[in-house]
Structure 1
């Protein structure tokens, strides 16, 4: 949930208004792809095109987050968001690298590549906690 100060900031309002349709697009594209493309389908232009639709929404999320950084005119809030992004990136790189090594040398299950972005998004929560502990505030989240 957005904190009181964040909701008053127009950049956060625009961010939320952009994230909603992109998120709905993602859910709809996943549902469509799951319905139309059978598991382990042959790669052809149609199956590839349908399977790429959810990726467009992921690109929309990335664009929306970039717009937030560009539009935030409060340097402190921007710094908090950048810190969250950096922590999320570090968490993601660490988990993927260590898990990748486990995949090479052991028989652990393979980590599907499509999980990297959701893992990064969960890393934003870790970044929020780091901000809360080190700065006394989490940024956009209360």
Structure 2
């Protein structure tokens, strides 16, 4: 989450106001789809719609992160956010590529594709640590 001082920045306040309802939509959509759509259900407009509903929240998260970059006036804070995004992308690409090779050449379990975005989100934490270690600050994060 963000530190108290960063919440004085209007861009971070708007980001938080966007992310909270999207997060609630995601959790609610996952719960609804899990309750109403059984594993390996027959394809219908309802099952496809319910299965895709959490994806709308993910698209919203991506949009909210892009808006944060656009709205941040402080170039240093923008740099810190971009660096976090780049590290998260590198972590995700590396993990998925290595795991994919293991899937091809060994008998490891398949990585469900829907886990790629949560992996990327965890990579943001790694990016925050990289910022703290290399630049002495993680930025807006506490």
* 1:96 matched to 2:96: yes
Counterpart CA distance in 2 for 1:41 and 1:4 is 46
User: Aligned-residue CA RMSD in angstroms?
Assistant: 0.8
Alpha-carbon deviation of 1:31? 0.6
Counterpart CA distance in 1 for 2:17 and 2:115 is 25
Q: Structure 2 length as normaliser, TM-score?
A: 0.98
- The count of residues paired between Structure 1 and Structure 2 equals 142
Q: What is aligned with 1:29?
A: 29
Structure 1's unaligned 5+ residue stretches are none
- 1:1-142 superposed matches below 5 A: 1-142=1-142
Alpha-carbon deviation of 1:7? 1.2
Q: Which runs of 4+ in 1 moved over 6 A?
A: none
Counterpart CA distance in 2 for 1:125 and 1:59 is 20
Structure 1 SS opposite 2:42: coil
Alpha-carbon deviation of 1:46? 1.6
Q: Structure 1 length as normaliser, TM-score?
A: 0.98
Structure 2's unaligned 5+ residue stretches are none
Counterpart CA distance in 2 for 1:99 and 1:3 is 35
Deviations 1:101-121 (A, max 9, x none): 000010000000000000000
Counterpart CA distance in 1 for 2:35 and 2:121 is 26
Counterpart CA distance in 1 for 2:125 and 2:136 is 15
Alpha-carbon deviation of 1:42? 1.4
